[in-house]
Amino acid sequence: MALYEDWGWKDNDCYCCGWKACAIWTAGLVVAGGVIAVLVVAFAVVYPPKATADDAVLERFALSPGSPAANSTISYNLTATVTLKNPNIYRAIEYGPLAVSFSFNGSGFDDSAAVPAFEAKARKSATVHVTVGGAGKLIKLTSPGVREFQAENDTGKFDVEMRLDTTLQYKGRSAKCPLVVICPLQLQLIDPAVAATAFQRTKCTILRAKKSGC
């Protein structure tokens, strides 16, 4: 009887040890799986940048309507600041030269600005500053576009679109990916001699090519 009881105690003890070992191994596998998942995200998966228009100042925006409307001209002074954030944990992003253009009511009026190539480190942001100006520049508006300008001029607030065209390359990858950033700007016309009106930070739209490695 004593032998039987002694043997049964050892069985229970072994069962207990087996359960604990199983729990430890399971926890270890869960942790290892989590680490592998993080590494896959960090090294294998890439995310496009995020962009915001952080500041913009419009000091001049005057239209001379033409006849026909497509012969209209515009005079302007505009400054804008855009931030490109790299959300990737591991990979830096290298940007090619940026071509910057501005349009009103779907009609472009300035494509003279350019920004040299630069790099954004992993989890870091890069800021782009652009200043453009012109007098009597052609803007091919439609008749409704001229009327829209006049309506917005009455309020002193103008809806202008800023577009950045470039390529990006993720660190460690060979593909160079076309990238377009479109930022809608609502601009308050200001007097340079008066304190500037606060600009409302705006989220930009990221357009990227459906291309392997991008």
What pLDDT does 7 receive?
43
Q: Same structural domain for residues 159 and 82?
A: yes
Q: Is residue 96 part of a domain?
A: yes
Q: Is residue 7 part of a domain?
A: no
Rounded to the nearest 10°, the torsion over CA 14, 16, 20, 25 is 40
Q: Same structural domain for residues 76 and 111?
A: yes
Q: Same structural domain for residues 118 and 35?
A: no
Q: Same structural domain for residues 97 and 147?
A: yes
Q: Same structural domain for residues 42 and 71?
A: no
Q: Same structural domain for residues 41 and 62?
A: no
Q: Is residue 11 part of a domain?
A: no
Q: Same structural domain for residues 171 and 201?
A: yes
Query: What residues make up the domain containing 23?
Result: 19-46
Determine phi and psi for 33, rounding to 5 degrees. -65, -40
Q: Where are the alpha helices (DSSP H) in the chain?
A: 2-43, 143-155
Q: Is residue 87 part of a domain?
A: yes
What pLDDT does 23 receive?
59
Spell out the per-residue pLDDT of the chain, length 214, in tens: 444 444 444 555 555 566 666 656 565 555 444 444 444 554 568 999 999 999 999 999 999 999 999 999 999 999 999 999 999 999 999 999 999 999 999 999 999 999 999 999 999 999 999 999 999 999 999 999 999 999 999 999 999 999 999 999 999 899 999 999 999 999 999 876 676 667 899 999 999 878 888 8
| Number of independent structural domains in the chain | 2
Residue bearing tokens 């609502």? 186
* 117, 94 contact by CB (below 8 A): yes
Q: What's at 177, amino acid-wise?
A: C
Contacts of 172 (CB under 8 A, 6+ apart): 91
Q: Is residue 172 part of a domain?
A: yes
